[in-house]
Amino acid sequence: MTAVTVISFRFRIQRVWRAGSSGRSTDLFRRRSCWRPSSRSKKARSFAGISKCSALWPRADAVRVGLNATCFNERPSGANQRFAGIYGALIARCPDIEFVIFEPADCRVAQWFGDAPNVTVRRTPMPSTGRIRRALGGLAYWRRALAKEKLDLFETFHLPLLRAPRCPTILTVHDARPILRDVPLVKRLLYGRILSTGLRRADHVITVSETMRQEILGIESRASVSAIYNGIDPKPFERIDVAEAEATRARLHLPSRFVLAVGHLEGRKNYPRLVEAIARLRAAGEDIALVIVGNEGGDGAAIADQIRNLHLQDHVRLLQGVSHAELTHIYALAALVAFPSTYEGFGIPILEAMAARRPLVVSGTPVFRELTEGRGIYFPPDDVDAMAAAISGVLSSAERQQALIDYGERRIQDFRFPALAEQVEQAYRALA
């Protein structure tokens, strides 16, 4: 399946003429469809043809794109990695586009892109954390700021939706976890309303997988949605110094043979069941340990309790505050990577395991099957025995390990930042 899937851009976009004061508007698209089905898949849709459509309204001046980056900070996350990687490549490949980056008060986001000449920075009073504080802080700011900038396109990366008044607005959505059944009812209903309203009011929605695209359409069938994958720079995982990796093992007290799991300590990551699977493997005579790398996400205490209850303190390590360099070493040292989540919009550790040439076992959630094209080793996320069997089956078979590594090495080529940035550019040029 192609990494990009699009619903029709057949919506009317009104623009106020900058010249003069008549306030008249013009319909740039005239309900024109700028997409056609990709020849690679009957189900998939690609942006083929959009670049030709963009030539229909040539611009003498530079296009100005605003990026609402007020939700980003230095805390490691898939959203941060996507923004820095894809949009860094986008800024580099589009010198004719002027990017106006709206930063939060507590993080210099634009520094992630170096001294790019086509980047303008706007420091805002909004903090990067707390939806309510960010929304309240922006009440007085955004109307004045957006009117002053005179943007051609505006992309925002969080909810509630901030819609630009005089240009198309794109909303990027990573997942819909606040409306899952285990979320308290009041919060679930409130976020559900905020999400559906944002999906309906955005001129276009970009999400991170075909699985999420279908989930979004289930929430708001009228939304215009495209899927553009998250990406990865595989180079740091390819340039591992063995001596440095072993130094990391000694410094972090890593076991000699371990399964690795990466992700914040949240309930949906399903770590207690993974800990139990390791306990059953050890009880069956398997000499294997577990290393979990992730910052606190609300479930750390429950995981620690599970480790104590199963008497695995010497065989399970919880690591927080790990640097990216250390993480690449830990991947290189792992015997296997496990990703047992019950829900994800994407799954960055899948890409990291592929880039590190590590065998991988994952839960059978739809997005994991999508990212691995049905060629992985899967287990039901609620079945501890199946999880343990999947881990054991790969650890005991050098042939199976190599097959997974070889597949990952080929598949990772579909997630390189420059190619994904091109897909975002096509979406921009179709709208601006």
Residues 294-343 have pLDDT tens digits of 999 999 999 999 999 999 999 999 999 999 999 999 999 999 999 999 99
Secondary structure of the chain: what % helix, strand, coil (to 5)?
40, 15, 40
Residue 54 pLDDT > 80: no
My answer on whether 255 and 402 are in the same domain is: yes
Q: How many domains does the chain have?
A: 2
pTM here?
A: 0.84
- Tracing tokens 């819909």 back to the chain, one arrives at 176
Residue 291's pLDDT is what?
98
My answer on whether 354 and 241 are in the same domain is: yes
My answer on whether 246 and 287 are in the same domain is: yes
Rounded distance, CA 251 to CA 148, Å? 52
Residue with the bigger pLDDT between 5 and 365: it is 365
Helix (DSSP H) and strand (DSSP E) numbers for the chain: 16, 18
Using pLDDT thresholds of 50, 70 and 90, give the confidence band for residue 59.
Answer: low
Report the mean per-residue pLDDT for the chain.
86
Residues 257-268, mean pLDDT to the nearest whole number: 96
350 domain residue, yes or no:
yes
Residues 75-88, mean pLDDT to the nearest whole number: 94
Residue 432's pLDDT is what?
66
My answer on whether 113 and 94 are in the same domain is: yes
Residue 261 pLDDT > 60: yes
32 domain residue, yes or no:
no
My answer on whether 279 and 195 are in the same domain is: no
State both tokens at 35. 């997409």
387 domain residue, yes or no:
yes
83 domain residue, yes or no:
yes
CB contact set of 78 (below 8 Å; sequence gap of 6+): 174, 230, 346, 348
Residue 92 pLDDT > 60: yes
My answer on whether 135 and 172 are in the same domain is: yes
pLDDT in tens, 226-243: 999 999 999 999 989 999
13 domain residue, yes or no:
no
Residue 429's pLDDT is what?
85
Residue 168 pLDDT > 70: yes
My answer on whether 206 and 291 are in the same domain is: no
Residue 30 pLDDT > 90: no
pLDDT in tens, 179-229: 988 889 998 999 999 999 999 999 999 999 999 999 999 999 999 999 999
72 domain residue, yes or no:
yes
Using pLDDT thresholds of 50, 70 and 90, give the confidence band for residue 76.
Answer: confident
279 domain residue, yes or no:
yes
25 domain residue, yes or no:
no
Spell 163-176 as b/e; 16+ CB within 10 A means b: bbebbbbbbbbbbb
- % of the chain at pLDDT higher than 90: 77
Using pLDDT thresholds of 50, 70 and 90, give the confidence band for residue 130.
Answer: confident
Which range is least confidently modeled, 10-24, 60-74, 286-300? 10-24
Residue 60 pLDDT > 90: no
Rg (alpha carbons) of the chain, rounded to whole number: 23
- % of the chain at pLDDT higher than 70: 86
Residues 421-425, mean pLDDT to the nearest whole number: 97
Query: Helical H runs in 381-416?
Result: 384-395, 398-411
CATH code (residue 127): 3.40.50.2000
My answer on whether 195 and 176 are in the same domain is: yes
My answer on whether 221 and 248 are in the same domain is: no
Residues 136-165, mean pLDDT to the nearest whole number: 91
Which residues constitute the domain of residue 79? Answer: 61-231+416-431
State both tokens at 173. 């959505």
My answer on whether 340 and 317 are in the same domain is: yes
Residues 381-400, mean pLDDT to the nearest whole number: 98
Rounded distance, CA 302 to CA 240, Å? 34
My answer on whether 211 and 143 are in the same domain is: yes
Residue 12 pLDDT > 70: no
My answer on whether 252 and 401 are in the same domain is: yes
- Closest by CA to 368, choosing from 355, 382, 391, 351, is 351
CB atoms within 10 A of CB 412: 21
From residue 168, give the alpha-carbon distance in Å to each of 32, 274, 429.
16, 44, 11
